[in-house]
Amino acid sequence: MAVTAGSSVRDARFTFSGFAGSGEPDPFGVWETPAQRDISPGEEGLVWRVALPDAASALDVVHARADALRRGEDDLARAEDELNALLAGVAPARDAERGLTGAVSYAFSVPAAEEFHPQKEMLRKTLAGLAAVETSPLTGAVAFSAVDAFADEKERKGFQEARQRWLAFVEQVQQMVAHYARVETTIAGAPVGLTRVRWAGDFETFWVPGMPALSREVHHETVNLALASRIALLRVVSVITTGAAGLILKAVALPPGGQVLLIPAARRFILDVMTVLREGRR
């Protein structure tokens, strides 16, 4: 029976593993975390693995994932634009709208007709909660006790989860930059090539003898996809931290050490908007 392009796409596996903890999902939706049973015993280091069901469609499937990554990068740029546009409309609150602590806050509304209204409204509520933080200095873990300022328990839990996800994501990126990785390609269950990548730019590739030129090209494209994904993830960190800096300047003035609270808020907004855009294409 002939294998259709659709079934090849569905049966292909693009995974990355080796990160401390469970690892955060890929914000671009290109790579997935493999089940524990699929990880080889004693496997160490970071592994980007592409398993393709057949040689005939292998190159097209890898190129399709590369296209998905490029669309995800466009989604990231759109999310950044939406955050910047939101901040452009922020205005200082009137005295009557300031929190009981006297902390300087900024008021803005999000019309229901606006695109990404739920995500923007969530960010507005987060900033309103953070504006109620006491003005005493906040440092380290103590700063995150400020989530108690949220009146709604669901909002408190949501912010705590956003903070934990941000910390996990940063740890994942740090490991990705600091350690070498392996990029592996298999086609129809048979190994094709393995490339060891040192993220400073050095790499070496090992080939299975007798592989046809097309299979070698597929592995080259797999390595390119892994490298492009790394760059894209670093861009996500840059956009989130820059967005948090914009929130610090425009959205709320916090006690010393409290500004770090805005990073999870920026992360949640950026990644939620990216998810909406990606799911809208399905």
Full 3-state SS string of 190-225: EEEEEEEECCCCCEEEEECCCCCHHHHHHHHHHHHH
**Would you state the pLDDT for residue 137?**
44
pLDDT for 265 beyond 60: yes
Contact 232, 114 (CB under 8 A): no
pLDDT for 209 beyond 80: yes
**Would you state the pLDDT for residue 113?**
83
User: Can you read off the two tokens belonging to residue 30?
Assistant: 């290109």
Structure-derived torsion over alpha carbons of residues 30, 35, 40, 44, reported in degrees to the nearest 10: 60
**Would you state the pLDDT for residue 1?**
37
Among 154-163, 172-181, 186-195, which stretch is predicted with the lowest mean pLDDT?
Answer: 154-163
Calculate mean pLDDT across residues 107-113. Answer: 76
**Would you state the pLDDT for residue 156?**
63
User: Can you read off the two tokens belonging to residue 44?
Assistant: 């160490």
**Would you state the pLDDT for residue 139?**
44
Among 51-60, 80-89, 115-124, 173-182, which stretch is predicted with the lowest mean pLDDT?
Answer: 173-182
Among the listed residues 246, 262, 248, 275, the one whose alpha carbon sits nearest the alpha carbon of residue 87: 246
Q: How far apart are CA 244 and CA 166, in angstroms?
A: 12
| 271 or 94: which leads in pLDDT | 271
Q: Phi and psi at residue 247, in whole multiples of 5°? A: -65, -40
